[in-house]
Amino acid sequence: MADPNAPEHSEGFGPAEDADATRQGQHSQSNDTPTDVNMNAVVAREQAGTLTLMGKNFEANADRRNKIFDAIVNKTIT
Band (pLDDT 50/70/90 cuts) for residue 33 is low
Give residue limits of the domains in the chain.
15-77
| Mean pLDDT along residues 40-66 | 91
Model pLDDT, residue 24: 65
Half-sphere exposure of 65 (CA within 13 A, CB side): 6
Task: Indicate whether this model's pTM tops 0.75.
Answer: no
Q: Closest Cα partner for 19 from 34, 32, 33, 3?
A: 3
One-letter amino acid at 7 equals P
Q: Is the pLDDT of residue 68 over 80?
A: yes
Please report the sign of the dihedral spanned by the C-alpha atoms of residue 18, residue 19, residue 22, residue 27: negative
